Amino acid sequence: MNELTSPSLKAAWETIETWMQHVKARDIDSVVSLYCQTHNAFWGTFANQLRCPQAEVRTYFDSFLDVKTISCTIVSNTARQLSDNVVAFSGSYEFAISPHDEADIKALARFTFTVRKEDDSSDWKIVEHHSSVMPENGF
């Protein structure tokens, strides 16, 4: 991962680290709370539809986190500070998933998170999240 050189980059990245911790804990409420309530767009790693308000984001995680165990590890990342209160991260991560009654799954995926500092607090919220499994053939 590239260096987080500004306070905004560091604070924004904490949101992504918190997201990974909540995913690992399978804490749906906490994961969903990291997304902007109304102004967001989310393409889940294994999703076939765009989910926009926070309530729709929840429907994805209700299913995605219904597993025995899950973890997410960043493989590569780059950060772009778009303004004092907007930061975008793009890279790849690997999910290790143990479904309830199936063989374990490892999935390498690419991601983009865009996070924005809320006007009325010091909280950073996810306003854009795209994640998709890496193509097997590399094209």
Q: Evaluate whether residue 33 is within a structural domain.
A: yes
Q: Evaluate whether residue 2 is within a structural domain.
A: no
pLDDT, residue 5, reads 80
Q: Evaluate whether residue 114 is within a structural domain.
A: yes
Its domain, for residue 65, covers 7-133
If one counts the domains in the chain, the total is 1
Q: Which residues contact 45 (CB under 8 A, 6 or more apart)?
A: 64, 95, 107, 109, 131, 132, 133
Rounded to whole angstroms, how far apart are CA atoms 32 and 63? 13
Q: Evaluate whether residue 139 is within a structural domain.
A: no
Q: Evaluate whether residue 138 is within a structural domain.
A: no
Query: Among all chains, which residue has been given the structure tokens 């399978």?
Result: 26
Element (H or E) spanning 56, and its range?
Answer: helix 54-64
pLDDT (tens place) for every residue of the chain, 139 residues total = 456 788 889 999 999 999 999 999 999 999 999 999 888 999 999 999 999 989 999 999 999 999 999 999 999 999 999 999 999 999 999 999 999 999 999 999 999 999 999 988 889 999 999 999 998 766 5
Find the CATH number of the domain harbouring 56.
Answer: 3.10.450.50
Q: Evaluate whether residue 101 is within a structural domain.
A: yes
pLDDT in tens, 53-91: 899 999 999 999 999 999 999 999 999 999 999 999 999
Q: Evaluate whether residue 115 is within a structural domain.
A: yes
pLDDT, residue 75, reads 96
Residue 15 amino acid letter: T
β-sheet with 86-98: strand ranges across: 41-43, 124-133, 105-117, 86-98, 69-83
Q: Evaluate whether residue 1 is within a structural domain.
A: no
Q: Which residues contact 99 (CB under 8 A, 6 or more apart)?
A: 67, 68, 105
